[in-house]
Chains A and B, each alone.
Chain A
Amino acid sequence: MSTQTPDTDETDPQAERMARKEERAAEREEASSTPDVGEDAITLKVFRYDPEVAEKQEPRFDTFHVPREPGITVLDALIYARDTYDSSLTFRHSCRQAVCGSDALFINGSQRLGCQTQVADLSNSDTVRVEPLPHREVVKDLVVDMDHFYDQMDAVEPYFSPTEEPDGEQLQSRENREKIKMSTRCIWCGACMSSCNVAAGDNQYLGPAAINKAYRFYFDEREDDERQEERLKIIEQEHGVWRCQTQFSCTTVCPKDIPLTEHIQELKREAVKSNLKFW
């Protein structure tokens, strides 16, 4: 029996492999075109951009259909779309419980955390439009470059650095803890900065998150007077608190409900007061 002669009873292994491959491709094709997503599937429109893929160099929107599970979040929908249709769909996420701050996205025209936003709670829950955070450079799909945001956060020196080493444990009073409580909730997601019309125009503006961070230390009773003065000098510089136009955009979008505008206003008054005192 020659191996060269095809046996009519046996199929060619190559042809068999090809057939299996085609079958799998057909299955995949079927899965992606008509997966069983149900009658009331969510239409997910996602911003796509990838400088390394020819057809995605020009940004476009892809549409995915996602089954409407009770309580499904926008992040769940994105994960479903990625796992079911397109494994190249790229977005940041980690804890899925609004703590890590990685998945701030522009959802139906507003900055929100994907994990914290249930599709059912959106005013338009049929079509969910997901874009990367505005006013940040897009790296790929929904991933933006956060470097500038982190630079602004670092600019306010968000840490204690006492002039003199404290003698022992420094306890904070309950009242003082209450005072700064909300400001400590920041998760560095960047939603506020992205929503700010002034930050969009002025790249040097510290932005709501950084000013809130300064507030958190400025009003902490454990910060000494000298450091407090230095910190005030940072936030009352030209691109600091004065840039805020009280549009309330940041406060509106903050996923941790931090009263950002209020904190910025309080620091403005602190700056004016400290200047008036010595005038």
Chain B
Amino acid sequence: MSQSHNRGLVEDFGRWREFSAGMWAWVFHKFTGWVLIGYLFTHIAVLSSALSGDAAYTNTLQGLEQLAVVRVLEVGLLAVAVFHIFNGIRLLFIDLGVGLDLDTQEKSFYASLILTGIIVVASVPVFLEGL
């Protein structure tokens, strides 16, 4: 046993096709979490225009809202936030000891995805209106 072989982490993300539902839920939750904390910083930065006065704030916000790319990104933000909320509720229940059997935790993840999809699709008109 003088020598052994370390296969490293190839088995992890290289095998994403074999991930189970719980693993996907974790990957999505992490990803959406990173996006949301990133957005919080940008959001506060944009709103800081309020410190430069009345007109600066109104113009900055309305100027941004006129850009189609901002509107589309907002739909993306909604998707990310809604998924993080639903999967977050799923995780809170899991922490409380509810819905821990394998079947339930899978179904609750799929339910989070489906609900997110429905809410986002239904919200697209509101988010893109007036463009």
Contacts and interface: CB of A to CB of B under 8 A. Distances in A.
Contacts of A134: 7, 11-12
Contacts of B26: 197, 245-247
Interface string A222-254: 000000000000000000000001111101100
B102 A248 contact: yes
Given A110-B18, A200-B12, A252-B20, A246 B2 contact: no
Nearest to B109: A248
A197 B13 CA distance: 9
A262 interface: yes
A197 B29 CA distance: 15
B22 interface: yes
Nearest to A134: B11
Interface stretch (B50-58, B73-81, B90-98, B113-121): B90-98
Contact of A247 (B4, B5, B7, B23): B23
How many chain A residues sit at the interface, stated as a range, is 20 to 34
Interface stretch (A14-22, A33-41, A165-173, A265-273): A265-273
Contacts of A109: 15, 17-18
Interface in B50-75: none
Contact of A139 (B1, B17, B20, B25): B1
A193 interface: no
B112 interface: no
Contacts of A49: 5
Contact of B12 (A59, A197, A265, A269): A197
Contacts of B15: 109
Nearest to B30: A245
A131 to B, nearest CB: 8
Given A200-B9, A259-B101, A246 B18 contact: no
Contacts, number: 78
A247 B24 CA distance: 8
A60 to B, nearest CB: 12
A145 B1 contact: yes
A262 B100 contact: yes
B92 to A, nearest CB: 11
A33 B29 CA distance: 50
A100 B9 CA distance: 28
B4 A249 contact: no
A138 interface: yes
B102 A251 contact: yes
Given A51-B3, A137-B6, A266 B97 contact: yes
A261 interface: yes
A188 interface: no
A185 interface: no
B32 interface: no
A256 interface: no
B95 A268 contact: yes
Given A245-B26, A246-B26, A252-B22, A262 B97 contact: yes
Contact of B100 (A59, A139, A245, A261): A261
8 contacts: A106-B11, A134-B7, A145-B1, A248-B20, A249-B23, A265-B94, A269-B95, A269-B96
Given A265-B97, A266-B97, 17 more contacts: A51-B3, A110-B18, A134-B12, A138-B4, A138-B5, A145-B4, A245-B26, A246-B26, A246-B95, A246-B105, A247-B20, A247-B22, A249-B20, A251-B22, A259-B101, A265-B94, A269-B95
- The 4 A-B pairs of least Cβ separation, nearest first, read A248-B22, A134-B11, A51-B3, A137-B4
